[in-house]
Amino acid sequence: MKIKLWINEKEFTDDVSPDIALLEWLRSKGFYSIKRGCETSNCGLCTVLLDGKPVLSCSTLAIRANGKYVTTLEGVEKDALEIGGFMADEGSEQCGFCSPGFIMNVIAMKNELTNPTEEEIKKYLVGNLCRCTGYVGQLRAIKNYLKSTKEV
Ligand code: FES
Ligand code: FES
């Protein structure tokens, strides 16, 4: 099936199998920030934005992205570096395997919620699993990042 979509504002067209997941298709195009961390749609590592909303690319068919705008970590490098810096400051970057999915969801949350409370942050990010940390450092980092975006 033919699809046309925009990834990080660049147009792509392809002929795809109807059963290929968006995750595999994006990686085949070189977007290696997107990782598969589970087989059960519950780790959040594969999060990308589809028309600005976070989706699990492992359980979204590539054909679902037809005509839409996809954003991956490669397209939000400046924000990713900033958030990564706050995570490093709090010692919460650890192995970094979960960071791409976390960062995409933090960006989606920043665009969707104004001044989220700690509970709202936890609820928004509940689908992002980290095997290394206890989330406390990440929570501090996210709060610091959100605060910094208000100060600019
Ligand atoms: S790879 Fe785990 S939720 Fe997508
Ligand atoms: S930092 Fe290692 S899985 Fe999250």
- pLDDT tens figures, 33-91: 999 999 999 999 999 999 999 999 999 999 999 999 999 999 999 999 999 999 999 99
Task: Please work out whether the CB of residue 97 comes within 6 Å of at least one atom of ligand 2.
Answer: yes
**Same domain flag for 132 and 107:** yes
The tally of domains found in the chain comes to: 2
Task: Please work out whether the CB of residue 130 comes within 6 Å of at least one atom of ligand 2.
Answer: yes
**Same domain flag for 67 and 82:** no
Q: From ligand 1's centre to the CA of 101, what distance in Å?
A: 9
Closest approach atom of ligand 2 to CA 131: 3
pLDDT at 3 over 80: yes
Q: What pTM did the predictor assign?
A: 0.94
**Same domain flag for 20 and 83:** no
Q: Match 């589809």 to its residue by tokens.
A: 50
State residue 150's pLDDT score. 83
First to last CA, the chain: 45
- pLDDT tens figures, 10-30: 999 999 999 999 999 999 999
Residue 119 belongs to domain spanning = 75-149
Find, among 96, 68, 95, the residue nearest to 83 by Cα.
Answer: 96
**Same domain flag for 69 and 79:** no
**Same domain flag for 114 and 134:** yes
